[in-house]
Amino acid sequence: MTAQLIDGNALAHKIRAEVAHRTAALKARGVQPALSVILVGDDPASDVYTRHKVKDSTETGLAATLERYPATMTQADLLARIRTLNADAAVHGILVQLPLPRHMDTHKVIETISPAKDVDGFHIASAGALLVGQPGFWPCTPFGCMKMLESIGCELRGKHAVVIGRSNIVGKPMALMLLQKNATVTICHSATADLGAITRQADVIVAAVGKRNVLTADMVKPGAVVIDVGMNRNDQGKLCGDVDFEGVRQVAGWITPVPGGVGPMTRAMLLVNTLEAAERVT
């Protein structure tokens, strides 16, 4: 069997078109959805990511501004800026790019963002809302993975979903989203004794570790759906995921490629969250 590809670029394109449509409807009612992106310091990867976020936003009709501050910015100044944006009714979403300079307390910074504008879904209030199944913003990467599963008509009820990785921004929220859809969920991590024994039982596998070849063909049940959140470089410097793509695609039913899988979906879901932040207050 050769797995079918879940095309993240195509799905993200469709989602951006829907966002553009809903944004136009809001604008017709006099509301301009707006995202403020804050970048502190000059990390090259963060520079690229934040410019993409602003470009994606403006291309879909959302207003987006990128505020850049030097790595020497004080935490007090950053918190003051966030509080000003919290109080600004013309701003619907606030995103502080991570990582922050080492002298800053990331947790404190995120908790200063108003939950109503937390389009990253990183605030404890957002995490709590997801935990108890109340409305709130879902972190963009696992939210995008759920959209990919939905796009292929994957019925999660009663299925065994295995999440590899337990980060606060992917693994844990991913597990909760799958649980909300009535999957039986197992979270595996670095201390899991026999990863393959567990993944071989899975109907759906989400790999979110940040390490190459965490999942190989012998660890996958024939026909399983495999979502690869990883973003790594191989020995040739080429972008690759956590999954041994060439091997696993021979066994899986569906698989996401890297690049062109989860990455574009993460970017698209930020637009969805920003639009929803604007829709909720209007």
Interacting residues toward ligand GUN by CB under 6 A: 49, 95-98, 120, 140
Question: Which C-beta is closer to ligand GUN: that of 168 or that of 234?
Answer: 168
Number of helices (H), then strands (E), belonging to the chain: the values are: 10, 11
Can you tell me the distance from the alpha carbon of 256 to that of 254, in angstroms, rounded to the nearest whole number? 7
List, in sequence order, every residue forming a beta bridge with 187; answer none if it has no partner: 163
Taking CA atoms, 177 is separated from 108, 146, 224, in Å, by: 25, 7, 18
- Residue of 56, 97, 118, 147 marked catalytic: 97
Can you tell me the distance from the alpha carbon of 108 to that of 33, in angstroms, rounded to the nearest whole number? 26
DSSP labels for 33-63? -EEEEEEES--HHHHHHHHHHHHHHHHTT-E
Question: Which C-beta is closer to ligand GUN: that of 79 or that of 98?
Answer: 98
Q: How far is the CB of 38 from ligand GUN (least distance, A)?
A: 9
Question: Which C-beta is closer to ligand GUN: that of 23 or that of 97?
Answer: 97
Q: How far is the CB of 119 from ligand GUN (least distance, A)?
A: 9
Question: Which C-beta is closer to ligand GUN: that of 96 or that of 251?
Answer: 96
First CA to last CA distance, the chain: 49
Catalytic site includes residue 53: yes
The residue assigned the tokens 């970048």 is 39
- Residue of 56, 117, 118, 120 marked catalytic: 120
**What single-letter amino acid sits at 133?**
G
- Residue of 53, 117, 147, 159 marked catalytic: 53
Catalytic site includes residue 120: yes
Q: How far is the CB of 27 from ligand GUN (least distance, A)?
A: 26
Q: How far is the CB of 97 from ligand GUN (least distance, A)?
A: 5
Instruction: Cite the active site residues.
Output: 53, 97, 120
